[in-house]
Chain A
Amino acid sequence: MLIIINNVLTFVGLSGVLSTIIVIADYFLANYGDCKIDINGKREITVKGGSSLLTSLAEKDIFVSSACGGRGTCGLCKVKGIDGCGPLLPTEKPYMSPKELEEGIRLSCQVKVKRDLKIEIPESIFSIRKYKSVVTAIEDYTYDIKRIEFKLIEPNEITFKAGQYVQLESKRYGKVRQPVMRAYSVSSNPSHTDYIELIIRKVPEGIMTTFTHDHLKEKDEISFTGPFGDFYIRDTGTDMFFVAGGSGMAPFKGMLEELNEKKSKRRIVFFFGARTTKDLFLLEEMKKFEEEMHDFKFIPILSHPEPNDGWDGLTGYIPPYFEEHLRDPKNTEGYLCGNPGLLNASEKRMRELGIEDIYYDSFG
């Protein structure tokens, strides 16, 4: 028995030592030289081999979305591997759908650059940058929602579409030993290129929102990456239904500021859901949009108004109110941002009414 245990321990020990030697040798001795990465067949970058594809691209200011910082735990940093990416690793497979496996999609944090590669990524990624910024304003919108303004330091200008989001990076604080990244829609007007603002709701137990609500102060420096996402207004001229609840207001605020500035003639109805009057915010701004814009209506709907709220507006769920504001379903687009429950119910009702073009920014 002792001999067996001894042999097993020896084997395990030797395996461990050999693995360590291989890792150390790979780190210090493996020289992959310069490697070329062909992107979309249009652009070629040269990087020093040996790092992950995610890191190599980031070093050339090409930022593939990643929420875990390349630790292989978020599954977001997907690219299409055309050539040279090596075999799919067991660490990647759980994040891939059958279709993605078939198409050769890879996690860029798990692909090591050892030779020349060919990959495909969405063209929009080329406009993504990492920004250093300083907090210039923090304002309470409600008891659990804040507006935070970030003045850009480096680069000092950003180009984005209203409705897109950025990934904010926290710092170490309290018990939190590693920075985390979280996505937030930009709520400012894209024409203001030297700052962005975010609307952030505090999430119980949330690492990032506890950071932004309880630890972040004016003049603090903070980094973010972006812009990301395809939730933005299509330039079609149709009527638009906006639907949001809570901090889902954020992308619409930016969209409305931009549409107002551009003197848009589009007809817009904005349905905003909240529990009580304590959860409503930006009412003055919405009233101003109603006064200034060509055809804009803001419709707040409370699900649980309290007796002392003095609320004489609409109550209940949002979707039943769509029909009375709909002119022509074939000439109406739906834009939805918020909780999955609200979005699913809204989409279902819109489709029943004949609205076909519906765009989402789901929290779920």
Chain B
Amino acid sequence: MKLTPQEVKIQERLKPGVVTLDGFLGKDKRHYNEIIAEDLEVLKGLAKTKEEIADRLDYLTKKALPYDEDGVVIDEIYDLQYVTARGRIISPFMDRTFWPKGIITLKNLQNGVEIRWTPLSIHLIRRYGFFQGKGATFRTEPSDLIKAIF
């Protein structure tokens, strides 16, 4: 696969130690374009779009934010906690966007599925369909994500 210089740079920025300590690729050896393509194909089968998922994560994030680490149960289903750190993190996709440093954890009290994400994760899903590489710290399989938040 022929890559543009921009794509080469982004792939480098997704590696450990550049934007985050462990990076966004996990143990996945594939190029991020392949990861995105495969996940978007999976989404088609699950009848959800990346925008619908991002909107839902965004909704839950905003609900969790006022309660910080104290946590809150939303809609009697979603047990949420938002851990914040000082500062903002830059998008590894070189789109010049910055995102709050936070980790949101969710437990679906109906089916027991637990996931976690960051404000940056929402951006990467919405704009690029990038759910991160297999084994990455903040990757959740799209199927598990849908089970947890819808």
Contact = CB atoms under 8 A, between A and B. Distances in A.
A176 B84 contact: no
Contact of A341 (B21, B84, B103, B137): B84
B85 interface: yes
B45 interface: no
A98 interface: no
B21 A205 contact: yes
B100 A340 contact: yes
Interface residues of A, number: 39
Interface string B49-85: 0000000000000000111111100000000001111
A304 interface: yes
B143 to A, nearest CB: 24
A245 B20 CA distance: 25
Interface residues of B, number: 30
A245 B85 CA distance: 12
Nearest to A274: B69
Contact of B17 (A176, A245, A304, A340): A176
B70 A205 contact: no
B68 A182 contact: no
Nearest to B100: A364
Contacts of A310: none
B86 A183 contact: yes
B96 A95 contact: yes
A210 interface: yes
B41 to A, nearest CB: 28
B145 interface: no
A275 B86 CA distance: 18
Nearest to A361: B86
A363 B17 contact: no
Most central of A68, A73, A95 by chain B CB within 10 Å: A73
Nearest to B95: A94
A174 B67 contact: no
Contacts of A246: 69
Given A203-B101, A275-B70, A345-B66, A183 B17 contact: no
B58 to A, nearest CB: 15
A40 interface: no
A75 interface: yes
A255 interface: no
A177 B22 CA distance: 12
B82 to A, nearest CB: 7
A339 interface: yes
A199 to B, nearest CB: 11
Contacts of A238: none
Given A73-B90, A175-B16, A364-B100, A339 B68 contact: yes
B66 A206 contact: no
Given A175-B16, A342-B68, A363 B85 contact: yes
B18 interface: yes
A121 interface: no
A63 B100 CA distance: 25
A68 B97 CA distance: 14
B12 to A, nearest CB: 10
Interface in B1-53: 15-18, 20-23
A339 B137 contact: no
Contacts of A182: 86-87
B147 to A, nearest CB: 24
B22 A341 contact: no
Contact of B67 (A74, A209, A210, A341): A341
Contacts of B83: 204
A344 interface: yes
A355 interface: no
B66 A207 contact: no
Contacts of A177: 17-18
A85 B103 CA distance: 40
Nearest to A275: B69
B84 A67 contact: no
A174 B21 CA distance: 9
A281 to B, nearest CB: 15
Interface in B78-113: 82-87, 90, 96-98, 100-103
Given A74-B90, A206-B85, 13 more contacts: A67-B87, A74-B98, A175-B15, A175-B23, A176-B21, A183-B87, A203-B101, A205-B137, A206-B101, A245-B68, A275-B69, A342-B68, A344-B66
7 contacts: A177-B18, A205-B137, A275-B70, A303-B69, A340-B65, A340-B68, A363-B87
